[in-house]
Amino acid sequence: MKPISIDEFCSLKFLSDVAYSPSGNALCFAVTSADKVKNRYVSNIYTMRGGKPVKLTGGGKERGFIFLDENTLLFPADREEKDEKNRDISSRYYRIGLDGGEAELHLAFPIPTHGLMPLPSGDMLLLGTTAPGFEELYRGDEKLVSAYKKHAKENEDYEEISQAPWWWNGGTYTKGAYDSLFLYEAKRKKLRRLSALCESVGMAKLSPDGRYVYYMKSAVKPLLPLAAAGTLCRMEVGVWREEVLLASRRDLDIQGFEPAKSFVLVVISDGHNGLNTDGDFYSLSYEDNELTLLAAHGEAIGSSVGSDIRYGGERALKADGDTVYFISTRFDCADLFRLENGNISRVTDWDGSVDSFDVKNGRVTAIALKDMRAQELYDGNGKRLTRFNDAALRGKYVGSPERLNFTREGTELHGFVIKPMGYEEGKKYPVILDVHGGPKTVYGPVFYHEMQYWAGKGYFVIFCNPTGSDGRGDFMNILGRYGTVDYDDIMAFCDEALRRYPDMDADDMFETGGSYGGFMTNWMIGHTDRFRACASQRSISNWLSFRGVSDIGIEFVPDQNAADLWGAPDKLWERSPLKYADRVRTPTLFIHSFEDYRCPIDQAYQMLSALISHGVEAKLVAFRGENHELSRSGKPLHRIKRLDEITRWFDSHRAK
C-alpha cells in the first residue's frame, strides 16, 4: 500500500453544479481537476447517458451552465478572438446540445454577467455589473466602452474608496461596482436595466410559473451592515414594477429564499447568536405577501463540513413543487433534509457530507463525500452513480477517522483520530493537531488531503470540534469568548487523545490551523508550550487592527467579540493573540496570501515581528496571486508549496 502523495489532489476529480433538465429526464454536472503542469484548474461539463457519465465540453473552462431547454445547455466561456479593449468587460455564452457536437456562440453582452434566467418568451433575466460613472455600459455603445477602458487604464494605479467594504476576498478592490438586474430582450438584442441605480442585487430567482422574479437588494453606498444587508423584492414579469416585500433588520435577517409552487420559502434568523445565527423557515404568500412560520430549524443550511478536495458551486436549497429540500449540518455530518407541510424529515443519513444536489419530481441526485472517498454522484438512497476517483485512490493508504467522544464540565465534545500508515502498537509516533476555520464549521469523517498526507508520512493526525463549531445549534455561540472555552476544549481533547492512544508521543506534538484555526494557533503559542512547532495559516492576531482591514471586519469584530474599538478596546486587546506574543517559545511558521482580504496579511506581519523581537524562531511564507482560499482552491503548485512548507517545518522540529 502506498501513502497519499503531496500532489494527490491533482489526481482527483471535483464535482459541482449538478442539475436536472426541465423535465428531469437528463442530468448534467461539472467535473474539475487540477493541472499541475499548467498550474491551473480544468473544468468540463458532463451528462449522464445510460447510467454512465459522458463529457460534453472540452474547453477546460466550462462550469456554471443552465438548461435552455430539455436538450440544450448554455454556458459562459471565452472562445472567440475579442478586441483587446473589450476583453475585460464583455461576456459570452455558448450553447451545446446534449447529443454533443460543437458549441456555438449564442449570446454576447457588453458587461460582465451571471445568473441567467430564461423566460418562456425567449427573453432572459440576468445580473450584470454596473460601474460608477459608466452606468450605461450595458447599452454596448463603442465610444462609451472605449472611454471606460481609457479611464480604467489612466486610473489603474489609484483607488478611490468611499464605501465599506472596499474589497472582497477572492476579488479585489470593488471600485464601487455592483450588480444590477437586467432584462435581455431577444428580438432587440438589447439589455434593459430593471433595478435602480446605486442598489446592488445579490440574488435573483424566478417563481416556478415564471410570473415573478424575486431578488435581494441592498444599498451600495454605504453598504448596510452584514446582519441587515438585504431587502426582499419582486417584480411581475412583463410589468417590471418593483414591490418591496421584506426588509432585513438586526432581529430579522433574511439569509435566503426559494420560490416554491404556491409560496416563497424565506430563511430568517432573529440574530440572537449574532451574525452566525441559523435561520428558521417561513412562507411568503404569492397573493398577499403574508409571512408565516413554517418550521423552526435553527441549524446551518448547507454543508459546513471542512475538506480540501472541492471546487465549484453548490446548491443547498431547492423547491420541488411545494416540498423544499435542503442540506443541513448536524453534529459532524451534512445530510439532505425535506420540508413538507411544515414538517422536517431526513432524506439521507450518511457519514460524510452532501455537498450539493438537485431534485426533480422527488428524484434526488447528490454530490457527496461519503465512505472516505473523494466526491462522487449518489442517488437519494445512497447508491453511487459515478466512479471518477476510484483509480486515483486505489492501493493508497486512506486512514479512517476514529471518533473520540468525551465530556468536559458536562458538555459532550468530540473529535477524530487518524492513525499513521503502517501503525504498530507499542511504537511511538508524532502527532499533528489540525484546528478548523470558522469557527462555525466542523470537522467530519470525510477525506481531507492534507491529513491523509501527514498520516502517510507517519503522523497521528487529530482534530476536533470545540465550542463555537457548527452542527449543534447554540453550541456555536462563542460571542466574546474566543480563546477561552474553545481553547480549553481543544487542550482537553489533546489530553484525552493522548490518554486513549498511548502510542502518541506527547513530546513530539505539532499544531496547525487556518483562519479561525490560525487565530487559535496564534493564541495557543502564547498560552502553552506543549507543541514542538506550529504553523499559523491565514490568521488573525490583533482584533483592533483586523476591524479596519478585513472585508468583513467592521461587523465581524464587534459581533464576535461582543465589544468594539470604541467603548471597549481593552476587551479586544484581551482577546488578541498579539498581546501574549512575549510569552511565546514555540517555533512558528506563518502561511499567508497577499490577496487575502478576509484575514489580511498584516495580521501575519504583526505576529511574525513580535516573535522575532522576542527571539523566537519564526518564518513567513507569503503567496502572490492567492487569497483566503489558498489551501482549497489556490493554484496547484502553490497548494503543493504550502503543504510542503508546513510538513518540512514540522519534520525539522521533530524530537531526536
pLDDT (0 to 100) of residue 565: 94
The x, y and z cell numbers of residue 156, run together, are 489603474
Percent of the chain with pLDDT over 90: 90
Question: How distant, in Å, are the alpha carbons of 243, 484, 602 from that of 561?
Answer: 37, 12, 20
C-alpha closest to that of 462 among 491, 424, 425: 491
Residues 505, 570 within the same domain:
yes
Helix axes 485-500, 516-525, angle to 10 degrees: 80
**455 pLDDT more than 80:** yes
Residue 38, C-beta contacts closer than 8 angstroms, at least 6 positions apart: none
Q: What pTM was estimated for this model as a whole? A: 0.96
The x, y and z cell numbers of residue 454, run together, are 501527514
C-alpha closest to that of 453 among 584, 308, 318: 308
pLDDT (0 to 100) of residue 87: 52
Task: Decide if 281 is inside a domain.
Answer: no
Residues 432, 497 within the same domain:
yes
* Cβ–Cβ < 8 Å for 503, 429: yes
The x, y and z cell numbers of residue 566, run together, are 470604541
Pairing type for strands 588-593 and 618-623 reads parallel
pLDDT by residue (tens digit) across 533-576? 999 999 999 999 999 999 999 999 999 999 999 999 999 999 99
Domain boundary among 188, 222, 252: 252
Task: Decide if 201 is inside a domain.
Answer: yes
81 or 77, greater pLDDT: 77
Residues 58, 145 within the same domain:
no
Compute the distance between CA of residue 627 and CA of residue 259 in angstroms, rounded to an integer.
Answer: 34
Residues 96, 176 within the same domain:
no
Task: Decide if 445 is inside a domain.
Answer: yes
Residues 104, 119 within the same domain:
no
Q: Average model confidence (pLDDT) for the chain? A: 95
* Cβ–Cβ < 8 Å for 539, 607: yes
Task: Decide if 137 is inside a domain.
Answer: yes
Confidence of residue 86 (pLDDT cuts 50, 70, 90): very low
Compute the distance between CA of residue 639 and CA of residue 363 in angstroms, rounded to an integer.
Answer: 37
Residues 478, 566 within the same domain:
yes
Compute the distance between CA of residue 241 and CA of residue 487 in angstroms, rounded to an integer.
Answer: 53
Q: Which amino acid is at 275?
A: L
Residues 144, 45 within the same domain:
no
Domain boundary among 199, 228, 252: 252
Residues 519, 561 within the same domain:
yes
Residues 411, 467 within the same domain:
yes
Residues 94, 119 within the same domain:
no
pLDDT by residue (tens digit) across 280-331? 999 999 999 999 999 999 888 999 999 999 999 889 999 999 999 999 999 9
CATH number of the domain that residue 618 is part of: 3.40.50.1820
Within 13 Å of residue 292, how many CA atoms lie on the same side as its CB?
Answer: 12
Helix (H) or strand (E) holding 642: helix 636-652
pLDDT (0 to 100) of residue 84: 46
pLDDT by residue (tens digit) across 156-210? 999 888 888 889 898 888 888 999 999 999 999 999 999 999 999 989 999 999 9
Residue 81, C-beta contacts closer than 8 angstroms, at least 6 positions apart: none
Helix (H) or strand (E) holding 630: helix 630-633
Residues 103, 124 within the same domain:
no
Peptide bond into 165 cis (omega under 30): yes
pLDDT by residue (tens digit) across 208-256? 999 999 999 998 876 544 444 689 999 999 999 999 999 988 889 999 9
pLDDT by residue (tens digit) across 414-451? 999 999 999 999 999 999 999 999 999 999 999 999 99
Beta bridge partners of 592: 622
pLDDT (0 to 100) of residue 229: 62
Residues 55, 202 within the same domain:
no
Confidence of residue 50 (pLDDT cuts 50, 70, 90): confident
What is the domain count for the chain? Answer: 3
Task: Decide if 382 is inside a domain.
Answer: no
pLDDT (0 to 100) of residue 170: 83
Compute the distance between CA of residue 246 and CA of residue 267 in angstroms, rounded to an integer.
Answer: 12
Task: Decide if 301 is inside a domain.
Answer: no
85 or 647, greater pLDDT: 647
Beta bridge partners of 216: 203, 232
Among left, alpha and beta (phi > 0; psi -120 to 50; other), residue 133 is: left
pLDDT (0 to 100) of residue 11: 98
Residue with C-alpha cell 460608477? 132
Task: Decide if 552 is inside a domain.
Answer: yes
Domain boundary among 221, 252, 283: 252
pLDDT (0 to 100) of residue 164: 83
Q: For residue 512, how many other CB atoms are within 10 A of its CB?
A: 26
Q: Which domain holds residue 551?
A: 397-652
Task: Decide if 129 is inside a domain.
Answer: yes
